[in-house]
Amino acid sequence: MDRSESILAEEDHDVTDALNQTTSENVADISQLLRIAPAEPHRPERIVGERRKYRTIWISDVHLGTKGCNAELLIDFLDHTDSETLYLVGDIIDGWRLKKRFFWPPEHNDIVWRVLKRAKRGTRIVYIPGNHDEMVRPFSGMNFGGVEIQRAAFHDTADGRRLMVLHGDEFDTVMLAHRWLAFIGDAAYHLMMKVNGWVSAVRTMFGLPYWSISKAAKHKVKNAVEFISKYEEVVARAAAERGVDGVVCGHIHTAEFRRFTHAGREVEYWNDGDWVEGCNALVEHQDGTMEILHWPDEIARRTLENAAEPLRTEAA
């Protein structure tokens, strides 16, 4: 068994149980709701110059409670940005994995702590649970420590567009038709990653080049591309039917902006990506312009700028 992962508590941690005994009266904030207690951050906030101020930030598919979560980069993102409103567009906490085994490194606490800190500083926080944190869905309409829980939301941009905000599993037909399949899919994926580790260890032992089982599985990449494209179309059509100007969602871990026309109506499709592979955020600038940020690129640019800074000062 892999001991390198920092498991804070190994006792049976059933998030669902905790939630069943919960009302907004006996819970002060969302961390108590999920029985995670971020008293102080493990890693203090790094205030590096001025934070980038946006009107709105959307993030989703963080998958706290799994090894896949790129907490490192998300902490960096949260320490360098700020916004009037922050939408957490689902799959923030991975209850499916947490139910199986409690994995909660201090960095995951640090993310919850930072989100709550933002609420205290006056950021409006709207949490729209996804399918992996569906145990939070029954609390829609409640407010825990400045975090509003909603099933879906409408967002009005500074330039007057109305956007529908939802996680997006609602439009995943495979999930909708065979919910059990999604659970098996999740388990199978984690098993595959584990097997991948064993296989590559054995291959290394025998001096064979690296071979990825997950890559082999992605052999059907054409199907994946078709699925994503179809999904985007279905979501955009639903938005057009609701009479909004656009939709913001997550769920498929693929950041994207596309424009669709449905029954003569133009509709924008925005996907804010994920913090497992892509590490993306969707932001709205003060004038209503929207942008998908790829955080690893932003860090790379910042590093370059910082390196160039002394040169520029000397030249001046």
Q: Name the site residues for Mn ion (rule: CB under 5 A).
A: 91, 130-131, 169, 251
Q: Which is nearer to Mn ion, 95 or 130 (CB)?
A: 130
**Cβ–Cβ contacts within 10 Å for residue 111, how many?**
22
Q: Which is nearer to Mn ion, 7 or 174 (CB)?
A: 174
Q: Which is nearer to Mn ion, 107 or 274 (CB)?
A: 274
**Secondary structure letter of residue 124 according to DSSP:** E
**Cβ–Cβ contacts within 10 Å for residue 30, how many?**
26
Kindly state the smallest distance separating residue 151's Cβ from Mn ion, in Å: 14
Kindly state the smallest distance separating residue 250's Cβ from Mn ion, in Å: 7
Contact 137, 90 (CB under 8 A): no
Which of 288, 287, 257, 286 shows the shortest CA–CA distance to 272?
Answer: 257
Q: Which is nearer to Mn ion, 91 or 256 (CB)?
A: 91
Q: Which is nearer to Mn ion, 78 or 166 (CB)?
A: 166
Kindly state the smallest distance separating residue 57's Cβ from Mn ion, in Å: 19
**Secondary structure letter of residue 156 according to DSSP:** E
Q: Which is nearer to Mn ion, 130 or 246 (CB)?
A: 130
Q: Which is nearer to Mn ion, 70 or 131 (CB)?
A: 131
Among all residues, whose Cβ is closest to Mn ion?
251
Q: Report DSSP letters for 75-116, one per residue.
A: HHHHHHEEEEEEEE-S-SB-HHHHHHS----HHHHHHHHHHH
Kindly state the smallest distance separating residue 306's Cβ from Mn ion, in Å: 36
Kindly state the smallest distance separating residue 5's Cβ from Mn ion, in Å: 23
| Amino acid at the residue 229 | S
**Cβ–Cβ contacts within 10 Å for residue 17, how many?**
13
Q: Report DSSP letters for 17-72, one per residue.
A: HHHHT--TTT-SSHHHHTT---SS-SS-----SSPEEEEEEEE----BTSTT--HH
Please state, in angstroms and as integers, the Cα–Cα distance from residue 78 to each residue in 81, 125, 197, following that order. 6, 13, 31
